[in-house]
């Protein structure tokens, strides 16, 4: 077949990709063609706009390296990451809500003893973080691996400052005690802009959007016999809770920072200055029978 026009080209492509031997590849390919062609037919791009779109995707790829994933930023800022997360976590009854992983997670962070200060001497307001990890029926999960990471008081992650810091900080893996409890010290994180000096930043500017995320602490929690939980705890009162650039805020994940004067902290440490505390109890779900 040949001589395709705007009325015949879509079906011709669908017929071609229908030859895929793998059923899932065929399903995904056909859906991609249908929706992509429908989008093009709706917006009717000029040749110059088509070239600009190709250039945008090319620049997005060129911005990716081992410290920055511009395509994740693109997915996040278009709401695709949260949509995929929602589709994959429909049945979360009794479990802690999930949210996006984000681009700053580091595999296999250093393991710290409970009660450690993971800030590595970074300047900022001291923050005591505590919580529990349990199954949805309330059974404490001992030995659960709690990965944590967050920005500094100026809104920067360690991986964005490797040359200045000379290593990682404000991230750790902690193991819960026999009662499923964990606690650690760090510094208060700040709201921050996602990296916006690339094509995603230009897109946000063109769309009349800001690049900011509200202040939060990331958690990834692994426990045997349970689904891995990826989530944040957001700080109440942040200016960007209702306009998070990646659409990741959920009411159930917002907690107050509690101010404390100098004195004995909850873990017995004597604090010579004001500090804050943040507490959250996490609940993990077991895989469904169908998933298992």
Residues 6+ away with beta carbon under 8 Å from 161: none
Mean pLDDT of 63-74: 89
Tell whether the model's pLDDT for residue 254 goes beyond 60.
Answer: yes
> Which pLDDT belongs to residue 53?
97
Tell whether the model's pLDDT for residue 292 goes beyond 60.
Answer: no
Tell whether the model's pLDDT for residue 65 goes beyond 90.
Answer: no
Q: pLDDT averaged over the chain?
A: 94
What is the spatial distance between Cα 115 and Cα 248, in angstroms, rounded to a whole number? 28
3-class state of residue 253 by DSSP: helix
Tell whether the model's pLDDT for residue 290 goes beyond 50.
Answer: no
Strand ranges (DSSP E) for 60-163?
126-135, 145-150
166: confidence class by pLDDT, cuts 50, 70, 90? low
- Percent of the residues in the chain that have a pLDDT greater than 70, as a whole number: 96
> Which pLDDT belongs to residue 165?
67
Handedness of CA 84, 90, 95, 97 (dihedral sign): positive
More confident residue, 161 or 256: 256
Mean pLDDT of 78-82: 97
94-153 pLDDT tens trace = 999 999 998 788 899 999 999 999 998 888 999 999 999 999 999 999 999 999 999 999
The secondary structure of the chain in percent helix, strand, coil, rounded to multiples of 5, reads: 30, 25, 50
Tell whether the model's pLDDT for residue 182 goes beyond 90.
Answer: yes
**Global pTM?**
0.90
257-285 pLDDT tens trace = 999 999 999 999 999 999 999 999 999 99
Structure tokens, 82: 């949260």
Mean pLDDT of 27-39: 98
């Amino acid at each position: 077949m040949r001589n395709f026009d705007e009325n015949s080209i879509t079906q011709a492509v669908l017929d071609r990709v229908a030859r895929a031997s793998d059923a899932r590849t065929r399903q995904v390919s056909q859906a991609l063609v249908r929706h992509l062609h429908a989008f093009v037919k709706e917006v009717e791009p000029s040749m110059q706009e088509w070239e600009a779109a190709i250039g945008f995707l090319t620049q997005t790829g060129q911005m990716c390296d081992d410290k920055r994933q511009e395509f994740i930023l693109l997915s996040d800022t278009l709401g695709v990451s949260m949509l995929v997360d929602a589709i994959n976590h429909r049945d979360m009854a009794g479990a802690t809500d999930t949210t996006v992983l984000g681009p700053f997670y580091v595999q296999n962070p250093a393991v710290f003893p409970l009660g450690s200060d993971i800030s590595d001497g970074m300047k900022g307001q001291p923050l005591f973080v505590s919580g529990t990890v349990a199954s949805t029926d309330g059974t404490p999960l001992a030995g659960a691996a709690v990965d944590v990471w967050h920005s500094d008081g100026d809104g920067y992650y360690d991986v964005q400052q490797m040359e200045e810091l000379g290593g990682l900080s404000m991230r750790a893996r902690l193991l819960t005690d026999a009662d499923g409890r964990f606690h650690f010290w760090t510094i208060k994180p700040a709201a921050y802009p996602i990296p916006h000096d690339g094509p995603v930043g230009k897109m946000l500017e063109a769309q009349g959007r800001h690049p900011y995320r509200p202040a939060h602490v990331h958690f990834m929690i692994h426990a045997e016999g349970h689904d891995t939980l990826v989530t944040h705890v957001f700080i109440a009162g942040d200016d960007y809770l209702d306009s998070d650039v990646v659409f990741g805020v959920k009411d159930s994940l917002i907690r107050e920072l509690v101010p404390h004067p100098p004195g004995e902290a909850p873990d017995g440490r004597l604090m010579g200055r004001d500090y804050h505390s943040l507490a959250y109890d996490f609940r993990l779900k077991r895989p469904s029978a169908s998933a298992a």
